[in-house]
Amino acid sequence: MREAHQDAVARVSEERLWRRHMEMARIGAIPGNGVNRAALSQEDIAARKVLIGWARDRNFEVGVDAIGNLFVRRPGHDAAAAPVMTGSHLDSQPRGGRFDGVYGVLAGLEALQAIDEAGVKTRRPIELVAWTNEEGGRFPPCTMGSAVYTGARKLEDFLDVKDNEGVALRNALAQTLAATPELAQRPMKTPVAAYIEAHIEQGPLLENAGKTIGVVTGIQGLRWFSIEVFGKTDHAGTTPLALRQDALRDAVYVIHALHELTRDATDTVRFTVGRMLVTPNSTNSVASHVLFSVDVRHPDPVTIDRLGKAVEPTARKAAKQCTIKVTPTLRDDPCVFDPGVISAVERASNELELRSMRLPSGASHDAMYMARICPTGMIFVPCEKGVSHNEAENAKSADLAAGARVLTAALLELANKDE
Amino acid sequence: MREAHQDAVARVSEERLWRRHMEMARIGAIPGNGVNRAALSQEDIAARKVLIGWARDRNFEVGVDAIGNLFVRRPGHDAAAAPVMTGSHLDSQPRGGRFDGVYGVLAGLEALQAIDEAGVKTRRPIELVAWTNEEGGRFPPCTMGSAVYTGARKLEDFLDVKDNEGVALRNALAQTLAATPELAQRPMKTPVAAYIEAHIEQGPLLENAGKTIGVVTGIQGLRWFSIEVFGKTDHAGTTPLALRQDALRDAVYVIHALHELTRDATDTVRFTVGRMLVTPNSTNSVASHVLFSVDVRHPDPVTIDRLGKAVEPTARKAAKQCTIKVTPTLRDDPCVFDPGVISAVERASNELELRSMRLPSGASHDAMYMARICPTGMIFVPCEKGVSHNEAENAKSADLAAGARVLTAALLELANKDE
């Protein structure tokens, strides 16, 4: 590692990084050390303002694009060179933790600040991005900001998505953008030289193996569906069961059948029904409409394709009295990261004498979309017992700092590679 | 029938009764001719005010008790005599119709007004009651107003019940009572000589048999439960299924098992899961908590007892990974109406030359609780295809008027019986 780069890495502050995590964790804090910071909510806006404040303290440029992705830029000395980018997201699950997403943003800011404090000149600019609505918990689907930024999906396709309270994304987005009117407007899909995202693992592998750094090789594929069951509401006391079109009863049959479809002795398939809305949702009335989500994932392209294709026919066959509508809402094939970025992360770990291992990601990340437009990789750090999407999510301050150091070294290598 | 009574019955106005139904149907109107008039909502308050206005136009006394049950009274000439009472409810299901409940209130008002216009003197007072929260759609359980009035349940037990938006019944009730501060306060459980409730059948028997009047013999028994499944939220992409405590998955297993428990070749058992709330309710997160309702009914006391007792062990056995909590929320044994009131209704039908049949009620009604404190009966009129708890609920104006005439005659017979 060059001496200047070593100097930058040495300026990564574990104390400052932890303190910023705790400050962000207060925004949307919920009992049990958790965070509820829904995308495009007042809490999300507050977190954005805190990040913008920290970036301005170092005189970094801040911009925003049409879907609210926030960009913090430290210029390079080659005006024509595309930036090296890092980042993650500030939004959380409804009952999420203090590290999922926000770690990648704060580690990226720590890297930019350490490089800046060390006075290291880079050929390429280094940019930090905070993607809008990575979680999809309020407005499905997830990884929306990076999907739109990379051109994989159109912004217009998402504007009418509504949250559980009926608020359209269009309005929540407008409110978020209006809260920071001073930011420079950024176009979508500007050229990017490379992208590295730091994240907690959200699984137990690193902890179980006693490793500090996960060198992420790719992301498993997924299929999301929204399944609607259309029944008829009736009086629960008078209507014979044979005459009913009970949407909740059929939803239960469909979910049962999908459990059977995805049964897997190796426990590799991930199948989840996490969201269900019942209408009219009254003890006394047969349900007329049920909407539920389906999330299926697998690392093998052939298996995820087979399972994804089987969801609709399996659901149709299982419904007994109601009509159903199956809408695919997200489709990501397994993604393989760039060997050059994987090597840069692995090399940085080795030079910093950190115990690392290669592993795939079980969760989706914005890196999946970035991999479509530029060489991409990820850095994982351990989280306690692999718990995530849960208030109890936890990580060690030393591991977070180690990840930020690897990120700093890898960003510098990529930003100065062709010099 | 006495001549004076015949005169009163002749003054029942089909046109006025229908017009009042249509006026009430505008309060909380929803698309498809439906009504959403939740108990203790602004719409409920508006409906109460309209009813009070009509009662005042005839100089009837209006009173209210601590749970908001409204009483309209036409005095008798024997100051010591307990009243004959009629009524039903003004609240509706979230996607309810224009006749369920409100018919019994308007038919009762029509009877009082017809008797008053005819100048018929009665020994006993005749009272009309509009019970609070019969549906239980917003604040479970149902038939709350009559349960409290008759002393079957205590008001205090219900004050902390919350609706789906987290509003406590205590606050909604205070708001409702504050909207009509001028009303006289009524004590609970004052003596009642007899109670007759008019209602649409909410089932297909009268229509299929070509009858106008149902002489109701009793009400089937029911058991309500609130079942909670306690799991653990986790990331849907990373957590192996074997390590999950997925509350929604276990809820599906439990509901499936309860379907098996209540399977009945004669299609007499009524089993409904109509309400389900999922936490955190996100596509991407394993559900940590699911709450759902169970409603089981049967006319036979032995069968409903057996089924009710089997719900909790069946649910416990079906849950695979989560702990569950089963809370009984309502328990009503099958009820048999008073032979004297049944005869009075049947006699009135015959004297008015209306086609009638005896039948049990599939739905619960406030009459069930009134039967515990006084001789009680009900009058059913047909509704289209038996559809109820549905926007498409419909009834014929002529049938509604016929029921009001039977009610008028039966009330007069009971109010003057011991003269």
Q: For B280, which of A94, A279, A280 is closest by C-beta distance?
A: A94
Q: Which residues of B touch A389 (CB under 8 A)?
A: 233-236, 282, 284-286
- Name the minimum distance, in Å, from the CA of B125 to any CA of chain A: 33
Q: Which of A35-44, A279-288, B142-151 has the lowest mean pLDDT?
A: A279-288
Subunit contact A297:B386, Cβ cutoff 8 A? no
* pLDDT value at B418 more than 80: no
DSSP string, B241-290: GGG-B-HHHHHHHHHHHHHHHT--TT---EEE---EEEES--TTB--SEE
Subunit contact A241:B267, Cβ cutoff 8 A? yes
d(CA A246, CA A239): 11
* pLDDT value at A235 more than 90: no
- In chain A, how long is the greatest CA-to-CA distance? 81
Subunit contact B252:A259, Cβ cutoff 8 A? yes
Q: Which residues contact B59 (CB under 8 A, 6 or more apart)?
A: none
- Name the minimum distance, in Å, from the CA of B403 to any CA of chain A: 20
Superfamily of domain B3-220+334-415: Zn peptidases (3.40.630.10)
Subunit contact B282:A275, Cβ cutoff 8 A? yes
Which residue type does B389 have?
Answer: H
* pLDDT value at A417 more than 90: no
Q: For A137, which of B284, B287, B363 is closest by C-beta distance?
A: B284
Predicted confidence (pLDDT) per residue in B70-84, tens digit: 999 999 999 899 999
Subunit contact B284:A271, Cβ cutoff 8 A? no
Q: Say if A245 is an interface residue toward chain B (CB within 8 Å).
A: no
Q: For A95, which of B137, B248, B288 is closest by C-beta distance?
A: B288
Confidence of residue B419 (pLDDT cuts 50, 70, 90): low
Which residue of chain B is at minimal alpha-carbon distance from A281? B275
Q: Which residues of B touch A249 (CB under 8 A)?
A: 255, 259, 273
- More confident position, B95 or B114: B114
- The pLDDT of B352-373, averaged and rounded, is 94
Report helix, strand or coil for B373: coil
Please give the backbone phi and psi of residue B244, each rounded to the nearest 5 degrees, phi first: -85, 155
Q: Say if B291 is an interface residue toward chain A (CB within 8 Å).
A: no
For domain A221-332, say whether CATH 3.40.50.150 is its number.
no
- Name the minimum distance, in Å, from the CA of A19 to any CA of chain B: 25
Q: Do domains B3-220+334-415 and B221-332 have the same CATH topology?
A: no
> Is the distance from CB of A409 to CB of A215 less than 8 angstroms?
no
Q: Which residues contact A219 (CB under 8 A, 6 or more apart)?
A: A332, A334, A335, A360, A361, A363, A364, A365, A367, A368
β-bridge partners, A293: A226
Domains of chain B, residue spans: 3-220+334-415, 221-332
- pLDDT score of A419: 58
Q: Say if A239 is an interface residue toward chain B (CB within 8 Å).
A: yes
User: Rounded to two decimals, what is the model's pTM?
Assistant: 0.73
Q: Say if B32 is an interface residue toward chain A (CB within 8 Å).
A: no
Q: Say if B297 is an interface residue toward chain A (CB within 8 Å).
A: yes
Residue found under tokens 């309500």: B224
- The pLDDT of B297-317, averaged and rounded, is 96
Q: Which of A68-77, A118-127, A318-327, B384-393 has the lowest mean pLDDT?
A: B384-393
DSSP string, B292-315: EEEEEEESSHHHHHHHHHHHHHHH
Chain A stretch 163-182, residues whose beta carbon is closer than 8 A to a beta carbon of chain B: 164
Predicted confidence (pLDDT) per residue in A56-65, tens digit: 999 999 999 9
- The pLDDT of B12-27, averaged and rounded, is 98
DSSP string, A90-130: S---TTB-SSTTHHHHHHHHHHHHHHHHTT---SS-EEEEE
- More confident position, A257 or A332: A257
* pLDDT value at B205 more than 90: no
Predicted confidence (pLDDT) per residue in B229-241, tens digit: 999 988 899 888 9
Confidence of residue B204 (pLDDT cuts 50, 70, 90): confident
Which residue of chain A is at minimal alpha-carbon distance from B36? A280
- The pLDDT of B203-210, averaged and rounded, is 90
Q: Which residues of B touch A242 (CB under 8 A)?
A: 267
Q: For A391, how many CA atoms within 13 A lie in the half-sphere containing its CB?
A: 16
Q: Say if A94 is an interface residue toward chain B (CB within 8 Å).
A: yes
Subunit contact A388:B242, Cβ cutoff 8 A? no
Optimal mutation site among B224, B268, B281, B282, interface A, most CBs of chain A within 10 A? B282
Confidence of residue A204 (pLDDT cuts 50, 70, 90): confident
CA gyration radius, chain B: 23
> Is the distance from CB of A207 to CB of A385 less than 8 angstroms?
yes
Subunit contact B136:A284, Cβ cutoff 8 A? yes
Q: Say if A334 is an interface residue toward chain B (CB within 8 Å).
A: no
d(CA B134, CA B364): 9
Which residue of chain B is at minimal alpha-carbon distance from A235? B389
- More confident position, B89 or B142: B89
The residue among A283, A272, A171 whose CA lies nearest residue A223 is A272
Q: Which residues of A touch B361 (CB under 8 A)?
A: 237
What mean pLDDT, rounded, does chain B reach? 96
Subunit contact B270:A141, Cβ cutoff 8 A? no
Distances in Å between the alpha carbon of B325 and those of A83, A340, B230, B287, B418?
55, 53, 8, 16, 52
- In chain B, how long is the greatest CA-to-CA distance? 81
- Name the minimum distance, in Å, from the CA of B272 to any CA of chain A: 6
DSSP string, B133-147: -SS-SSSSSSSHHHH
Element (H, E) at A49: helix A42-57
